[in-house]
Copies of this chain bind each other. A is one copy, B any other.
């Protein structure tokens, strides 16, 4: 793959190590050049030498929110496509993000295919089939619970509180299967 000036530059800003690694790889596999930052501040430094054509931004990170990057990215490249991607999604932040010029807004958990689909990354690679089935609600719930659980260091009581769910219910859910997709 080439790394010349004609390659599309993709910026990923997210403090979730695993997430950025997976997404970055998936995007590189499609021939794009990627840059990763784990905070808004770090992203700003990157912008000195990297002018992205596309970006995914997390909202909740240490320091400034990814949403503050939207105006700067637009200023740097008016044609940039920006996808907000967050586990702390809300209607108000979604509205603000779009008003500021973000292209789209997705709540985590979202799988790589959906992210790329939102950014129209699928076009140049016809050999990669898009998964047509969305996540099942059960799977989505599981992923979300796991994420919040980890954020609370495995503390079940705290997780249940954060999720507004009864502790007993969360316990029962956790005892059940890890995941079971349909079929």
Chain A positions within 8 Å of B, measured between CB atoms, are: 59-60, 65, 67-68, 70-71, 86-96, 98-100, 104-105, 107, 124-128, 130-138, 140-141, 143-145, 147-148, 151, 162-165, 181-182
Q: How far is the CA of A96 from the CA of B89 in the complex (A)?
A: 15
Q: From B86, B89, B96, B126, give the contact of A128 (CB < 8 A).
A: B96
Whole-angstrom distance from the CB of A46 to the nearest CB of chain B? 19
Q: Is the CB of B148 within 8 A of A144?
A: no
Q: How far is the CA of A70 from the CA of B128 in the complex (A)?
A: 13
Question: Taking A95-B94, A98-B98 as contacts, is the C-beta distance between A89 and B126 under 8 angstroms?
Answer: no
Say how many copies of this protein the assembly contains.
2
A90-B91, A133-B162 known; 13 new pairs, CB 8 Å cut-off, are A86-B130, A88-B135, A93-B130, A96-B124, A98-B99, A107-B140, A107-B143, A107-B144, A134-B151, A134-B163, A137-B141, A137-B145, A137-B163
User: What are 27 A-B pairs at a CB distance below 8 A?
Assistant: A59-B130, A60-B130, A67-B126, A87-B134, A87-B135, A88-B130, A88-B131, A89-B91, A91-B105, A93-B131, A94-B98, A95-B104, A95-B105, A98-B99, A99-B124, A107-B140, A107-B144, A132-B162, A133-B164, A134-B147, A134-B148, A137-B163, A137-B165, A140-B141, A140-B144, A164-B181, A164-B182
Q: How far is the CA of A141 from the CA of B89 in the complex (A)?
A: 13
- B residues near A131, Cβ cutoff 8 Å: 88, 90, 93
Q: Is the CB of A126 within 8 A of B100?
A: yes
Tell me the nearest residue of chain B to A144, going by C-beta. Answer: B140
